Amino acid sequence: MRIRSAKGAGPFIALIALTAAGCARVPAGRINADRMDFGQVVQDSWKRQALLNVVRLRYGDAPMFLDVASIINSYSLGGSVSGGASFQKAPSSDTFSLGAAGYWSNTPTVTYQPLMGDRFTRSLLQPVPPAAVFQLMQGGLPPGLVMTTIVKSINGLRNDSLGTAGDPGFRELVEALSRLQSSGALGNRIEARKDGSALIMIIRREGAATPPPEDVRRVRELLGLGEGISEIEVVYGMAPRNTSEVAMITRTMLGLMMEMAFAVELPSAQAASAVMSPGAGQAGHAQAALRMRIRSGTAAPENAYVAVPYQGYWYWIDKTDVTSKGTFTFLMILFSLAETGQASVAPVVTVPSR
């Protein structure tokens, strides 16, 4: 840039410097963009990790969870302005030079934390609390999804498990409870006691829309409840102590993943390699219980809700398979429910991302 008069150059250079300094800030819109982008990536990797571990269990391999413990993103934005002047003897030959430079950097740091030790035990090896079963149903989730996924047995009625068909009465009980919930006749409350809290299941006679009397009678009969009892305590165990109690055995998260492993459709060339292959004529029971279908193939799918490669093949849940997607999403919710939130002393790996 060439300026004829040196007297006006000083204010002009100062104006350029102030303008550059005023522009040196991180735009607020970056927060919205980065939050959405990082959130989507973490969610996708979480789903893929869960599906991969289900497939690993199908082949008898040990699961491995690596949690994203934190994401720290730092921004750097700056600039510089330079100016200079030279004077020559020739008339009207004053020369001035101006320069400006800027830089921008975005350096996210992702921290990974292996799930092991106490957190592994609490998150994967402890049964889902029976209270959570009824609270999830009270929150609006269908009993057909909640009970067939989480519950192994209730008052001696066994659910389908590891390729073995359960008791017909279990399915009948789930269907009857679904109708009672739809009518508003099924509820629960948490009752504080000296030795802790207790979950009370309530079968209401009044205040509900129209509780089907046949369903109420059948639920009492299947559970062995006493006549006229409307408030039933729910405990963890194999058998109830009296006719006003419901004893429930629930699955662990690892056990639930093993159940889901039976829904993996193996490639014909890999069928002989599967350690957890169901017995003849039993494969349909486990798949029907969890209402899932995990497909397999030699090429990456084009229309997948979640897909992972393993041992030279691809395994996925189809995006149009609403039932399987719903069951898998429920698994993700249960993982959050099982998370203790306790700090871990396990090794932490921090990887700077560019």
DSSP 8-state symbol, 291: T
Give the integer Cα–Cα distance in Å for 13 and 16.
5
> What would the pLDDT profile of 63-109 be if each residue is shown by its tens digit?
888 877 777 777 666 666 666 655 565 566 666 666 777 666 767 77
Residue 115 belongs to some domain of the structure: no
Residue 290 belongs to some domain of the structure: no
Give the integer Cα–Cα distance in Å for 116 and 260.
22
Percent of the chain at pLDDT > 70 equals 69
Q: Which of 258, 250, 308, 274 is nearest to 63 (CA)?
A: 258
Q: Residue 277: is its pLDDT beyond 60?
A: no
Residue 198 belongs to some domain of the structure: yes
Q: Which of the pair, 345 or 63, is modelled with greater confidence? A: 63
Instruction: Give per-residue burial for 193-204: e unless 16+ CB within 10 Å, then b.
Output: eeeeeebbbebb
Residue 101 belongs to some domain of the structure: no
**Residue 184: which domain range?**
127-251
pLDDT at 95: 65
Residue 178 belongs to some domain of the structure: yes
> What is the mean pLDDT of the segment spanning 296-309?
92
Residue 194 belongs to some domain of the structure: yes
Q: Are 71 and 26 in contact (CB under 8 A)?
A: no
Helices (H), the chain: 9-23, 29-58, 117-120, 130-138, 143-150, 168-183, 213-223, 253-261, 283-290, 322-338
Residue 199 belongs to some domain of the structure: yes
Task: Calculate helix-pair angle for 168-183, 213-223, nearest 10 degrees.
Answer: 140
Q: What is the mean pLDDT of the chain?
A: 76
Q: How confident is the model at residue 169 (pLDDT cuts 50, 70, 90)?
A: very high
Residue 242 belongs to some domain of the structure: yes
> What would the pLDDT profile of 191-248 be if each residue is shown by its tens digit?
777 666 677 777 765 554 566 788 888 988 999 988 877 788 888 988 888 988 889 9
pLDDT at 226: 85
Among the listed ranges 34-38, 157-161, 313-317, which one has the minimum average pLDDT value? 34-38
Percent of the chain at pLDDT > 90 equals 19
Counted domains in the chain: 1
pLDDT at 98: 66
Phi-psi label, residue 29: left if phi above 0, alpha if psi -120 to 50, beta otherwise? alpha
